[in-house]
A and B are shown apart, each in its own frame.
Chain A
Amino acid sequence: MSNQAPLLEMKNIKKSFFGNQVLEDINLTLGEGEVLGLVGENGAGKSTLMKLLFGMTEIRDTGGYEGDVLINGEKVSFNSPFDALAAGIGMVHQEFSLIPGFTATENILLNREPQRKSVASEIFGDRLDTLDRKEMDRRAEDAIEKMGVHIEGDMVISDMPVGHKQFTEIARELSKEQLRLLILDEPTAVLTEREAQALLDSIRGMSKRGIAVIFITHRLQEILDVCDKIVVMRDGVLIKDVPAAETSIPEITRWMVGRNVSGAGNAHREPPETPTVMSIRRLWVDMPGETVRDVNLEVRQGEILGIGGLAGQGKLGIPNGIMGLYPAGGTVTLDGQEIPLNNPRKCLDCQLAFVSEHRRGVGLLMDESLEWNVAFPAMQVHDRFLKPLLGGLIKWRDEKAIREVTDRYIEELQIKCTSTKQKAKELSGGNQQKVCLAKAFALEPKFLFVSEPTRGIDVGAKALVMEALEKLNRESGITIVMISSELEELRQICDRIAIVSGGRIAGILPATEPSEAFGELMVSSVV
């Protein structure tokens, strides 16, 4: 069995999206039956690397990649996932790709069903072959057994618990006879603890049969339990490649989040010891993919509080729930007054403002002018930029005031545009983000939620956005809660940082704490 060349070898892999380097010089080898754990923060490049390996077309559409992928020592170049499948690579995605109305067996063998000739198919061709149900059952049963976790073959997908859906996907990959390498992208994210344990057993089983596994997860303990070696990625760079036996969770977290710049975060000032301005009690939010389970949090007057955490843990659900964009429950008080939930208008009336992470969907009127984008919420909520006519009976839009305020923010935030009349969709991402900020600033809030303000924008715009937020806080004394996936960013600007894990606050630390401390909190109760 011991082949000279390893099963998989990746050499000097580089990949950039539109000039943005996302993978840099990745080297990786994987032997037969080896289990490799791939860890890293969101956006570290794990998914891109796997997509590249699996031949996803979006890689090719964005200009391909540099470097070589070798399978058994032979250079390969996959143009589509079909090529990858033919080469024996299988992948289980985070999103389920199953047909809900079909049974597990049918899904496992979809489009690869054993067939039987019939009279009709003799005349009209293969497309009229009938399915060999018995053979199908047998093969599906084989695959399920290979997996080592029992699921009912004749159960319809839509009736299954989430975990079983995940197992069905894995069984589908295992039913492919040529399978030699299986990629599991966060398979345990949706599983219960026992199911996850079963999955780990199944991974060990696969490994014994000689199938190599690449296992991506945020649950570090699982990685240590099951993997032969661990690869840590950060910012598109492969940071560490070590045998699992020689490392520990604290070490891995340090590699994951630690930057080369080891400087402490916000050194400008001591966290203010001011009274609580907003208190959140037993908050739950039903936001798909970002469920908040039970959040208790005190925000102090005049501080910048950061909320961090891994994707899907619920950090985004907190502002979206409080601002009434998703169904929520619990109590939130501002200045001792309770804020009614599920009612965006009431929040805005309380002088709360929110810059949504979903710029195009929630944050902007893409087809309207910058003037409208900046002035609209303030106009609707506080009756600003309006001229009363006929003794206040008619509230007429005051175009001049709107233009003035827009001009002011264009200058203040250095928004690059041709005029105040330019449509929002014509701006670049960074400038759109600044418009979102201008919109919130125009509301003149006393409390501001900013969600992922730097997502998808370039470095220069990032710095400007951060500066604007800091200025607003320092000069106008406005309390800011900033939610971001990028810990370093939070540490730069925030006074304290709360880490969300599993829909709960895992802990709140001053921004000056070392990165590892935050890293540990991030993975503390991941669900």
Chain B
Amino acid sequence: MSEYINESNRTLLDRVKGKLKEFGLPRLIITAFLLLMFIIAPFTGANFWTQITNVINRFSWNAVLVLAMVPMVHSGCGLNFGLPVGIIAGLLGATLSIEWGFTGPMSFVMAILIATPFALVFGLAYGWLLNKIKGGEMMIATYVGFSVVSFFCMMWLVLPYKKPDMAWGFEGTGLRTTFPIDKYYGGVLANFLRIQIGRLVIPTGALLFFALLALAMWAFLHTKTGTAMTAVGSNATFARAAGINVDRIRMLSVVMSTWLAAVGILVYEQGFGFVQLYNAPFYMALPAVSAILIGGASANKASITNVIIGTILFQGMVTMTPTVMNGLINLDISEVLRVIVSNGMILYALTRKSEAVR
């Protein structure tokens, strides 16, 4: 009898060990760190519920951008370091919607509608390029992102935008680097069905919007085409031998990813309350990449759960650290920490291809 108990104890221990290993050391460290922050926070004078609200808010801004990683990871194109390509499409949608006089919630809908054809065209061109350089996608994607952003740095100045809310004050032409969108779609999602309990505020609309897209993505991955996409990422030769047009599936994944990035930046802006142009899209890809990696994805496996867990962990860390550190030592190291964690996470993930948690 005692032997039996011993045996079951050991298997339990093994099972826990197995789960921990599955969870991954970096995720474990980051989770522990985040929990520590939450525990310390009240002692530094920060309000616990305000902190929770911050984390939920940041999650609602960023989750769609992280979700945009999923299709390309599934099709084997790797992590979409070229996220700025889609972001630019989203920014074109945003600025044109405002320029053409749409306001309020309508401006958000129109921004998505206008961004869609751009995302489609950009995605097709970007996908075509990625199909030419199979194996080196992630590096090329990074540079494609950089080039597109730089090109549009010029375009924002040159394109004939006239709306005073966006243009430079002196000249009346060319777009400003940052402008507020209170009159347009600032907070349209977040304020929809907003719940407020004391200091805890939940941006229900934004969360629902993400849930809708995530559900659609989950459903897509359960269809015939979605299954083919996963198979292409898992073993492209196998997929080809099964009669799949590998290039077309990869193209589809890039277009999906680009469109989600376009929508993602619009969601981000409605939460943030500002549109940021010029160099701002440069810095959008890395946090999204590291978030999905922290969530347990790898360069060729990713799930919706990875997106949700990863975004909460990463954004939680980014929001909590400054408050707590300021309270403790009057020194803001959050930026340094963010850079270390995001780059470290990417490095870690790229060394362990395909060992994702599903």
Contact = CB atoms under 8 A, between A and B. Distances in A.
Interface string A392-411: 00111100000000000000
Contacts of A395: 223-225
Contact of B231 (A344, A372, A386): A372
Contacts of B228: 380
B186 to A, nearest CB: 35
A203 interface: no
Given A361-B237, A364-B238, A366-B235, A396 B243 contact: no
Contact of A379 (B227, B241, B245, B300): B227
B240 interface: yes
Given A362-B237, A364-B238, A367-B354, A344 B243 contact: yes
Given A368-B234, A397-B227, A381 B242 contact: yes
Interface string B216-237: 0001001111111011001101
A64 to B, nearest CB: 33
B244 interface: yes
A395 B244 CA distance: 16
B235 A364 contact: yes
A349 B243 contact: yes
B195 to A, nearest CB: 33
B223 A367 contact: no
B301 interface: yes
B223 A344 contact: no
B240 A344 contact: yes
Interface in A205-250: none
Contacts of B222: 396-397
Nearest to A346: B243
Contacts of B237: 325, 361-362
Interface in A337-389: 344-345, 347-349, 354, 356, 361-368, 372, 376-377, 379-381, 383, 386
B224 A386 contact: yes
Contacts of B238: 362-365, 376
Contacts of A372: 227, 231
Given A348-B243, A380-B242, A367 B301 contact: yes
B231 A383 contact: no
Nearest to B243: A345
Contacts of A381: 242-243
A344 B354 contact: no
Contacts of B300: 367
A328 interface: no
Contacts of B225: 395
Given A367-B301, A379-B227, A397-B222, A354 B241 contact: yes
A380 B242 CA distance: 7
B241 A380 contact: no
B235 A344 contact: no
Nearest to A378: B242
Contacts of B243: 344-345, 347-349, 377, 380-381
Given A325-B240, A376-B242, A381-B243, A365 B235 contact: yes
Contacts of B242: 344, 348, 376-377, 380-381
A386 to B, nearest CB: 6
Contact of A396 (B223, B231, B244): B223
Contacts of A354: 241
Contact of B223 (A349, A361, A362, A394): A394
Interface in B304-358: 354
Nearest to A439: B242
B199 to A, nearest CB: 43
A376 B227 contact: yes
A364 B242 CA distance: 11
A323 interface: yes
A253 B240 CA distance: 40
Most buried by B among A366, A367, A394: A367
Contacts of A377: 241-243
A376 B231 contact: yes
Nearest to B237: A362
Given A365-B231, A367-B354, A368-B234, A323 B224 contact: no
Most buried by A among B223, B241, B300: B241
Contacts of B224: 379-380, 383, 386, 395, 397
B185 to A, nearest CB: 30
Interface string A316-337: 0000000101000000000000
7 contacts: A323-B241, A348-B243, A376-B231, A376-B242, A380-B244, A381-B242, A395-B223
Given A344-B243, A367-B300, A372-B227, 5 more contacts: A345-B245, A368-B230, A376-B238, A394-B223, A395-B224
What are the 8 A-B residue pairs with the smallest beta carbon separation, nearest first?
A: A345-B243, A377-B242, A395-B224, A348-B243, A365-B234, A397-B222, A362-B237, A365-B235
Interface of A: 323, 325, 344-345, 347-349, 354, 356, 361-368, 372, 376-377, 379-381, 383, 386, 394-397
